[in-house]
Amino acid sequence: MCGRYSFATSREKVNKHFGLSIETELEKRYNIAPNQKAYVIMNDSPKELVQLKWGLVPHWMNKNGANSNLINARSEGISAKPSFRLPIRKKRCLVLADGFYEWKSYGRKKLPHRIVSKESQLMVFAGIWDEWQDKKTFTIITTTPNEEMKWLHDRMPVILPTLETQQKWLSDLPLKEALKLLKPMEDNTLRIYPVSDRLNKGEHDAADLWTEIKTPPTLFDS
């Protein structure tokens, strides 16, 4: 599962990577939580950066659709799931990030950890979107963990590592070929470190969440 992530990258870096022409400064977000708006690039407008609500609402939902909160979509079997089978074929998007968070238990305490690229690169997640009552929403696709993530969590976002794979994801790539892109990040590409549990509060959204802290001692420490 991916339940929190961040995106505080400059527009210059985004413009250079994607060949865009964003003129206004981007909102810096250090603690993006479900149901909040975040930056994505949609397949039907690949030269635009837009903000959509994180938490997909399927187009076929009834009046209770506003309560839908599909923040993640498992890559396994995604093409057959009612909520995802149309978006995975026709409504793909790139979710822009520079890191994400997962929690690990130390005794009775659960501590968040930040996961970033060792090369300080953009971290572009594979996503899908849908539209319900004129409201567009998105979800992040997850997969099994790579070697670095296994000790921390049994899922991780699908990270599209190159501009080529990112462009393929937004293209009219046939379903069978698109599904081949939904795999774990290569090993030895990520840095993982513990951060403050202030992250647990969705309203706390500041750069101090990126500061590495010491893990608490456990009964097994000498």
**Could you read off the pLDDT of 126-135 as tens digits, one per residue?**
999 999 988 9
Let me know: does 97 contact 114? Beta carbons within 8 Å. no
pLDDT at 64 > cutoff 90: no
Q: Which of 102, 119, 164, 212 is catalytic?
A: 102
- pLDDT score, position 88: 98
Report the phi/psi class of residue 107: left, alpha or beta, with left for phi > 0 and alpha for psi in -120 to 50: left
pLDDT at 52 > cutoff 50: yes
pTM of the full structure: 0.94
- pLDDT score, position 221: 47
Q: Which of 2, 25, 93, 147 is catalytic?
A: 2
- Structural domains counted in the chain: 1
Tell me, yes or no, whether 145 lies in a domain.
yes
Summarize the confidence of residues 152-176 as an average pLDDT: 97
Closest CA to 5 of 109, 87, 113, 94: 113
Q: CA 209 to CA 166: how far, in whole Å?
A: 28
Residue 93 appears among annotated catalytic residues: no
**Side chain identity at residue 32, one-letter code:** I
Query: What count of residues does the chain have?
Result: 222
Output the domain CATH number for residue 103.
3.90.1680.10
pLDDT at 219 > cutoff 50: no
Tell me, yes or no, whether 79 lies in a domain.
yes
Tell me, yes or no, whether 12 lies in a domain.
yes
Structural domain including 18 reads 4-210
pLDDT tens digits for range 66-77? 667 899 999 999
pLDDT tens digits for range 82-93? 999 999 999 999
Structure tokens given for 82: 């009612």
- pLDDT score, position 181: 98
Summary mean pLDDT of the chain: 93
Percent of the chain exceeding pLDDT 70 equals: 95
- pLDDT score, position 222: 40
Q: CA 195 to CA 215: how far, in whole Å?
A: 9
Tell me, yes or no, whether 215 lies in a domain.
no
**Side chain identity at residue 47, one-letter code:** K
